[in-house]
Chains A and B, each alone.
Chain A
């Protein structure tokens, strides 16, 4: 039987960058293919070419045994390909059914609302989507919204689904459920391309993996025959182990961040003290108050009760800018809309929070000459791979985008840092870079609050570990002979 999808000799360049350099890729019906590679290796580009979003420079695509030349996603959808984007294309004020009916192909013959709701119910049952056709999108979790997109694909009879980093914003249970849905789709004969940086997931669900490196095909393997270490090596050419912080390597400094009974919507009575040279890892299932805590510390969320001290300053009511000036750096989890302005340049993003301070400017004026010089320095120092400071940030790979944020926040020599999901969407090498930066800062005497849903990272760099559940801290432990069972209990909200 011919493969469901065959991509042959795909080349796509952006100026001097060869994002896809002669790539061949096949997907069978009833197969989950893992598409792996470092940030910027060309995975999304390849999928955008397939989906008609980017015309290739050269190469051929065959789909369901016929040539496919999609000029737009519309053509690709018609041919039976669906791409689930990270940012969902749903109307929040409408119900699931209404969203599915929106842009339903075949214009003239309008499907009845009731009929569609019934289709949705059936498909939802068959694939374990657990979706209520009458639920409003705004009331659904990210994971559920993603399933609406998957449902759309199913109902439009897509034979091939492209999932580009679908798990990076999901809670662990939602990830497990998504993987189950993928398995059901596979058993119904659909082909799936699954892009992820999380190797355990990939090994769990995929049948076969294809690895890209710098735009080229770097390897291919059946999952049954490969280990995590081998896979990591295929991706980056070496195995990247987690760093390790050993307690007591250096002296603790002064009190840098002191939080007393901090409360806000979704956050109740958080208390901790943090000295210079200390990393407090905050673990927990995503959505248990981590975002609220990060925002309350950064000055982006009104505080209803409690005190925040940054160094000697009472920052409880201080503005965002005042907190930056007190020495607080903040790496938000939401990179696309908060930490970065994707439509603006590398230079603009490096100056984002510092435009009123030298070298970027004064209170009244920007000083582009010295600002650009600083931006160039930062690009070199933090190894931001971009053609120049005027390059649009949204076109950088995920790893390089995060490097822009890190360069901006850490180059201020902060005394306190709040980092939230700082490694989301990053490949193992880039993840290592972020963790190393945190450790270096600790060595320089900064106090760091490292919030992450990746327990492995927390265990790797924290001096102390706090676990959040239901908007409060469920427990704190030094990072020494940690009882993982205890951490699990705290995470599930049960106080031991």
Chain B
């Protein structure tokens, strides 16, 4: 699969949609996609017996209504951005890495374990060490995937998906064992030492994770566009034969891309644990892996475009949850609206690339 969004274009009957005109700008397409998803959402909300207008107001209010809401939305976008950038790095080389979920889970565990191991460290040290441990754990896990994929020639999709299950069970085991909090009703770790909590940004309810994530996206941009390694990734994604001819070793590219993706996902896990939950909780990464892929595709595997893509999903989710609370539409409906919006936007992007 050389161009992921072209695969999307093939998967969805883009041409059937009225807005897939031949020479419109990307902006027009996306605006139309958003309009179409608003219409669909309105119909769905109305079918659920609620007022669409009230629903939309609730979404907007939930996403942008207060500094607290904006902060929550930024927090929500953070792991999507980090792990999405990692998935995009892999996609650039034509590697479909669906393992973000497991890498996030182990990253969280790594960060938690490190933070708990040095309870008296000064704040900056504690945070840096814990996040580094998270990144390392994530990279180690994606390294396992790379090793199996390269060593045994198993398709990366299969390997990364299956390793997700193992990672989740591993975290469960850790929480049932030495990382767990004795006497708690659920599988969770003890609270992180205060020094390891991610600080909040002034005036916002957001922790500094979003800043880390934006810096990571900028770094990924630099890697892809300004280094021979990134050039190798782009060449390999377009043609494996050309990459071999150009002297880029497939295994080196795969190791590199997978390790980076794992590290970014692990970092995302660490940020979640240190910034939001302040402890390791079973299943905290559920669903993140696929969001990472969605965000990477929404951003057309371009790190700078993944920033708005991740924010879009983060704000949409935060707003939708508020709508669910305020006007009481079912959770499933919220998921459907989210999904529809993403599909429309992806199709709009794919249609333009034809």
Using a CB–CB cutoff of 8 Å, the interface residues on chain A facing chain B are 55, 298, 300, 319-321, 324, 330, 332, 334, 337-344, 348, 351-353, 355-356, 361, 363-366, 368
Closest to A319 in B: B247
Closest to A320 in B: B247
Does B277 sit at the interface, judged by CB under 8 A?
no
Interface pair B242/A338, CB less than 8 Å apart? yes
Q: How far is the CA of A300 from the CA of B245 in the complex (A)?
A: 7
Given that A319-B247, A320-B247 are known contacts, is A352 also in contact with B228, CB under 8 Å in the complex?
A: no
Size class of B's contact patch?
A: 20 to 34
Does B39 sit at the interface, judged by CB under 8 A?
no
Q: How far is the CA of A426 from the CA of B225 in the complex (A)?
A: 33
Closest to A363 in B: B228
Closest to A343 in B: B238
Interface pair B245/A366, CB less than 8 Å apart? no
Q: How far is the CA of A209 from the CA of B247 in the complex (A)?
A: 44
Q: How far is the CA of A355 from the CA of B236 in the complex (A)?
A: 14
Contact of A366 among B227, B238, B239, B246 (CB under 8 A): B227
In the assembled complex, 7 residue pairs joining A and B whose CB atoms fall closer than 8 Å, in A order, are: A320-B244, A338-B244, A340-B242, A348-B234, A353-B245, A355-B246, A366-B226
Interface pair B241/A337, CB less than 8 Å apart? yes
Least CB distance, B353 to chain A, in whole angstroms = 11
Interface pair A355/B242, CB less than 8 Å apart? no
Does B64 sit at the interface, judged by CB under 8 A?
no
- Which residues on B sit within 8 Å (CB–CB) of A355? 228, 231-232, 246
Least CB distance, A266 to chain B, in whole angstroms = 17
Closest to B3 in A: A343
Interface pair A356/B242, CB less than 8 Å apart? no
Interface pair B226/A352, CB less than 8 Å apart? no
Using a CB–CB cutoff of 8 Å, the interface residues on chain B facing chain A are 2-3, 22, 225-228, 230-232, 234-235, 238-239, 241-242, 244-247, 249
Least CB distance, A345 to chain B, in whole angstroms = 11
Q: Which 10 interchain pairs have the tightest Cβ spacing?
A: A321-B247, A320-B247, A355-B228, A338-B241, A341-B238, A337-B241, A356-B228, A352-B246, A341-B242, A355-B231
Q: How far is the CA of A319 from the CA of B232 in the complex (A)?
A: 16
Q: With A338-B244, A342-B238 given, can you name 10 additional A-B contacts, CB distance below 8 Å? A: A298-B245, A300-B245, A320-B246, A332-B245, A343-B238, A344-B234, A352-B235, A355-B232, A361-B227, A366-B228
Least CB distance, A355 to chain B, in whole angstroms = 4
Given that A337-B239, A365-B226 are known contacts, is A353 also in contact with B246, CB under 8 Å in the complex?
A: yes
Interface pair B239/A341, CB less than 8 Å apart? yes
- Which residues on A sit within 8 Å (CB–CB) of B238? 341-344
Least CB distance, B249 to chain A, in whole angstroms = 8
Interface pair B245/A364, CB less than 8 Å apart? no
- Which residues on A sit within 8 Å (CB–CB) of B246? 320, 352-353, 355
Interface pair B241/A364, CB less than 8 Å apart? no
- Which residues on B sit within 8 Å (CB–CB) of A368? 226
- Which residues on B sit within 8 Å (CB–CB) of A341? 235, 238-239, 242
Q: How far is the CA of A328 from the CA of B232 in the complex (A)?
A: 20
Closest to B244 in A: A300
The listed residue with most A CB atoms (<10 A of its CB), out of B22, B234, B241, B246, is B246
Interface pair A344/B245, CB less than 8 Å apart? no
Given that A341-B238, A341-B239, A368-B226 are known contacts, is A330 also in contact with B245, CB under 8 Å in the complex?
A: yes
- Which residues on A sit within 8 Å (CB–CB) of B226? 365-366, 368
Least CB distance, B343 to chain A, in whole angstroms = 23
Q: How far is the CA of A55 from the CA of B227 in the complex (A)?
A: 39
Contact of B227 among A339, A340, A343, A364 (CB under 8 A): A364
Q: How far is the CA of A334 from the CA of B228 in the complex (A)?
A: 24
- Which residues on A sit within 8 Å (CB–CB) of B234? 344, 348
Closest to B243 in A: A341
Q: How far is the CA of A429 from the CA of B104 in the complex (A)?
A: 58
Closest to B226 in A: A366
Q: How far is the CA of A337 from the CA of B236 in the complex (A)?
A: 11
Q: How far is the CA of A363 from the CA of B231 in the complex (A)?
A: 12
Least CB distance, B120 to chain A, in whole angstroms = 38
Given that A341-B238, A344-B234, A344-B238 are known contacts, is A353 also in contact with B228, CB under 8 Å in the complex?
A: no
- Which residues on B sit within 8 Å (CB–CB) of A344? 234-235, 238
Closest to B245 in A: A338
Least CB distance, A442 to chain B, in whole angstroms = 24
